[in-house]
Amino acid sequence: MKFCIVGNGAMGVAHLKALKAIPGMEVTAIQSRTAEGTEKTAKEYGVPFHTTDFNAAITRKDVDAVILTSPTQMHHDQAAACMKAGKHVLIEIPMTDSLKDAESLVKLQKETGLTAMAGHVRRFNPGHQWIHQGIKAGRLHLQQIQAHTYFFRRKNMNALGAPRSWVDHLLWHHACHTVDMFIYQTGDVPEQIYGVEGPHHPELGIAMDLAIIMKAKNGAICTLSTSFNNDGPIGSPYRYICDNGTYIAFYDNLERANGEKIDTTGVDVSGNGFENQDREFIKAIQENRAPNSSVEDALRAMQTLDRVEQQLIKHRH
């Protein structure tokens, strides 16, 4: 299978590395905003074609599927263009930054019958998978998820420390991870949800601090704190408080609350969540089925984020 990667930032590189580890997969094209950066990444990872022209990249005959790691605000239009061009598409989280746009992509996916997947990589991190398998098997009963996602981002910089061409968002991007994970681990949309935000940045126009509390129908709760003001280690640890122990998942790793590491070898093919996610995308295409984290499945998280946004808008006025 042959792929086009759109975007050459941290997420684009993560997918380039993941696809290199999967036999029979080839990245034949890469497209990004700047010619110099795109060419540099293409040479580093042996991609034969590079361009700044999005349509030229995705419509190539040697491209079967596209992975979008572009700015969030471009996801809807680019994903729609991919499907209209007959290409399967994996959209990095979040698939859109509005419920309306997410519903539009779900509708288009159904019309085209192509594989369209939202990049909820937490579902594929071995640590989170270990918890999910324990819940499904009845070994664990979730009482609470306590999660925080912290950055220090008072200027518009990306994860690699370079200036961003777009503005990131705590609700539609970073909270999306945890909202989807809570839905995935409890099996349904939250029965109750409430969000509060701090002051908006005078230049960026976004809240720099956001907190969300959720309660599932089965009684489990989730408390999420997110911030662009955190002057300290960045990252997204999840504390799973269960009837049978407390566990801390940090990306691909998992340990008990006392610091004892849990061996997640064998949970999935790889110990890398991005590779597991990309393998699921590929298998779904090959088997002509909906992938775990299809755009239709991920719509539940978008609906929940929209509920929070409507609350926040109401309280601003």
Cα-based distances in Å from 203 to 96, 180, 199, 317: 22, 29, 12, 20
Q: Is residue 147 part of a domain?
A: yes
Looking at the structure, do residues 160 and 34 belong to the same domain, yes or no? no
- What's the pLDDT score for residue 317? 77
Q: Is residue 185 part of a domain?
A: yes
Each residue of 44-101: pLDDT tens digit? 999 999 999 999 999 999 999 999 999 999 999 999 999 999 999 999 999 999 999 9
Each residue of 244-280: pLDDT tens digit? 999 999 999 999 999 999 999 999 999 999 999 999 9
Closest CA to 242 of 123, 125, 133, 126: 133
Looking at the structure, do residues 8 and 114 belong to the same domain, yes or no? yes
Q: Is residue 297 part of a domain?
A: no
Do residues 269 and 156 lie in contact, with contact meaning Cβ atoms separated by under 8 Å?
Answer: no
Q: Where are the alpha helices (DSSP H) in the chain?
A: 10-20, 35-45, 54-58, 75-84, 99-112, 126-137, 176-186, 273-287, 295-316
Bridge partners (DSSP) listed for residue 194:
213
Gap between the Cα atoms of 252 and 295, Å rounded: 23
% the chain with pLDDT above 70: 99
CA 110, 116, 121, 126 torsion-angle sign = positive
Chain centroid offset of residue 15 CA: 12
Looking at the structure, do residues 138 and 261 belong to the same domain, yes or no? yes
Looking at the structure, do residues 168 and 310 belong to the same domain, yes or no? yes
Q: Which of 37-46, 96-105, 154-163 has the lowest mean pLDDT?
A: 154-163
Looking at the structure, do residues 41 and 71 belong to the same domain, yes or no? yes
Each residue of 283-304: pLDDT tens digit? 999 999 999 999 999 999 999 9
- What's the pLDDT score for residue 161? 72
Closest CA to 222 of 308, 164, 286: 308
Cα-based distances in Å from 195 to 109, 178, 300: 31, 13, 17
- What's the pLDDT score for residue 78? 98
Determine the structural domain holding residue 193 and report its residue range: 126-271+302-316
- What's the pLDDT score for residue 158? 67
- Please provide the average confidence, as pLDDT, over all residues in the chain: 95
Looking at the structure, do residues 254 and 133 belong to the same domain, yes or no? yes
Q: Is residue 214 part of a domain?
A: yes
% the chain with pLDDT above 90: 89
Instruction: Indicate whether 160 pLDDT > 70.
Output: no
Gap between the Cα atoms of 176 and 127, Å rounded: 18
Tokens of residue 24, six digits: 């029979």
Gap between the Cα atoms of 220 and 145, Å rounded: 8
Looking at the structure, do residues 90 and 214 belong to the same domain, yes or no? no
What CATH number is given to the structural domain containing 104? Answer: 3.40.50.720
Confidence of residue 205 (pLDDT cuts 50, 70, 90): confident
Q: How many domains does the chain have?
A: 2
Q: Where are the alpha helices (DSSP H) in 21-58?
A: 35-45, 54-58
pTM of the prediction? 0.94
Gap between the Cα atoms of 5 and 69, Å rounded: 7
Residue 73 DSSP one-character state:
G
Looking at the structure, do residues 168 and 306 belong to the same domain, yes or no? yes
Instruction: Indicate whether 7 pLDDT > 70.
Output: yes
Looking at the structure, do residues 147 and 235 belong to the same domain, yes or no? yes
Q: Is residue 296 part of a domain?
A: no
Looking at the structure, do residues 19 and 131 belong to the same domain, yes or no? no
